[in-house]
A = this chain, B = another copy of it.
Amino acid sequence: MGRWQPDARGRLERAALELFGEVGFNQATAAGIAARAGLTERTFFRHFADKREVLFGGAGELQELLAREVRDAPRSQAAPLDAIAAALEAAGPVFERRRAFVRQRQGVIADNVELQERELIKLARLSSALAGALRDHGVPDWPATLAAETGVALFKTAFQRWIDDPDAREFAPLVRRSLAELKAVTADSL
């Protein structure tokens, strides 16, 4: 205790994901996570408000990154949805860096309805933030809402595809591929 713990946050995250996978999210405790990481419960609470924050602590940061990218998009020929797709591509390295964590996290959420609801609420907030960024760019209200909701649809699909990808491709090319398909299903015939 009190001593500097190298990568305490990372160790707690890995321990938490292992424990959630073994005993289920509801049964896991902060004390159990800390013990598995070889750290104290106090150290756990220095890094996370509760065990749920291990899973959702990064959502606010991701939302800020994406909204900033959209807000800073050049006023070029790009469609609003292209600006969101470019922001998603820019966020690729955030996921790549934590591929194992992100995949394990998705498995934990898929097993728990309450966590799924929480994830959907986070995505709804992301949609509002993206719509705000597009409005700042001069896109009118309803088109901004539509582009943001469609952008979240693109994100969810590209993300699931990245999680499931048997070839472990990077996130950015899967965003581009999903974007091309989204444009096709919007414009082409059945």
Q: Give me the interface of A with B, judged by CB distance under 8 Å.
A: 73, 75-81, 83, 113, 116-118, 120-121, 124, 137-139, 142-147, 149-150, 152-154, 156-157, 160-161, 178, 181-190
In the assembled complex, the Cα of A157 lies from the Cα of B142 at a distance in Å of 8
Q: Are A142 and B190 CB-contacts (below 8 A) given A113-B121, A117-B120, A121-B117? A: no
Contact B145 A79 (CB under 8 A): no
Contact A78 B189 (CB under 8 A): yes
Contact A142 B178 (CB under 8 A): yes
7 smallest CB-CB distances across A and B, nearest first, come from A149-B153, A117-B117, A120-B120, A147-B185, A80-B185, A77-B189, A146-B182
Return A155 CB to nearest CB of chain B, in Å.
9
Q: Which of B76, B80, B146 contacts A153 (CB under 8 A)?
A: B146
Contact A187 B187 (CB under 8 A): yes
Return A31 CB to nearest CB of chain B, in Å.
28
- Interface hub of A83, A118, A143, A161 (most chain B Cβ within 10 A): A143
Contact B190 A146 (CB under 8 A): no
- Interface hub of A137, A142, A187 (most chain B Cβ within 10 A): A142
Return A8 CB to nearest CB of chain B, in Å.
32
In the assembled complex, the Cα of A44 lies from the Cα of B118 at a distance in Å of 31
Q: Which of B121, B149, B156 contacts A157 (CB under 8 A)?
A: B149
Provide a sorted-by-A list of 18 A–B residue pairs whose CB atoms are within 8 angstroms: A75-B190, A77-B189, A78-B190, A79-B185, A79-B186, A79-B190, A80-B190, A81-B186, A116-B121, A116-B124, A138-B190, A142-B181, A146-B185, A147-B182, A150-B182, A182-B186, A183-B186, A186-B187
